[in-house]
């Protein structure tokens, strides 16, 4: 995540193709698009090593993703990906946009995980998540806080969005499957 309104998803070329074949990709893209104003999908790796069929499938998927308003960037390797994200973050910070929240794979410290959970809510960044935890002591305390208590820290609009998210009932939808990848 880059700030509260932007999400960056990194996939290797092989993972990108696998997620097309097993039907995950477009569900992931749809969820990211629903949650964030801006979504950047990084496809990391060399595209030249793909055979003709794989290239057609990959380019078709990228075209569909771009048509949905998502930016797609190809980087040759992990170092280039890091440089790209750092450059994007630097630009956003110079423009006075939000600070960066990064989610890493692997072991995450409890404090970091707790802050990350709160930062998944609309309008909640690093500073507000810390303020909430200082005031209420724990995630449970934050989740059990009244609208009025939340409003005193978050303001009316963010408090309403927070409570609405907590109270929204989960409805399971059928998984979308890609039925035709032929070009």
CATH of 6-94, one of 3.40.640.10, 1.10.3720.10, 3.40.50.1370, 3.40.50.10130: 3.40.50.10130
The pLDDT value given to residue 1: 42
The pLDDT value given to residue 97: 53
Of 2 and 153, which is predicted with more confidence?
153
CATH fold of the domain at 110-167: DNA polymerase; domain 1 (1.10.150)
Is the pLDDT score of 116 beyond 80? no
Q: Within the chain, what is the greatest distance between any pair of CA atoms?
A: 59
Closest to 23 measured CA to CA, from 154, 180, 182: 180
The pLDDT value given to residue 95: 66
| Average pLDDT for the chain | 81
Task: Tell me the mean pLDDT in the region 31-55.
Answer: 88
Task: Tell me the mean pLDDT in the region 96-113.
Answer: 58
The pLDDT value given to residue 47: 84
Of 59 and 177, which is predicted with more confidence?
59
**DSSP-based three-state secondary structure for 43:** strand
CA distance 64 to 62: 5
Q: The pTM is what?
A: 0.53
Is the pLDDT score of 140 beyond 90? yes
124 class by beta-carbon count within 10 Å (0-12 exposed, 13-18 middle, 19+ buried)? buried
């Amino acid at each position: 995540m880059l700030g509260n309104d932007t999400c960056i998803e990194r996939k290797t070329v092989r993972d990108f193709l696998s997620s097309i074949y097993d039907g995950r990709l477009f569900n992931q893209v749809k969820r990211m698009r629903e949650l964030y104003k801006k979504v950047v999908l990084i496809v990391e790796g060399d595209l030249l090593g793909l055979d003709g069929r794989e290239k057609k499938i990959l380019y078709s998927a990228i075209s569909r993703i771009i048509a949905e308003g998502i930016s797609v960037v190809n980087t040759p390797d992990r170092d280039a990906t890091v440089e790209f994200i750092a450059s994007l973050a630097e630009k956003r910070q110079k423009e006075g946009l939000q600070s960066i929240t990064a989610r890493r794979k692997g072991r995450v410290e409890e404090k970091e995980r707790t802050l990350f959970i709160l930062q998944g809510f609309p309008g909640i960044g690093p500073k507000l998540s810390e303020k909430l935890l200082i005031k209420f002591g724990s995630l449970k305390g934050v989740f059990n806080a009244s609208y009025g208590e939340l409003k005193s820290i978050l303001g009316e609009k963010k408090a309403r969005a927070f409570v609405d998210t907590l109270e929204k009932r989960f409805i399971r939808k059928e998984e979308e499957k890609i039925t035709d990848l032929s070009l």
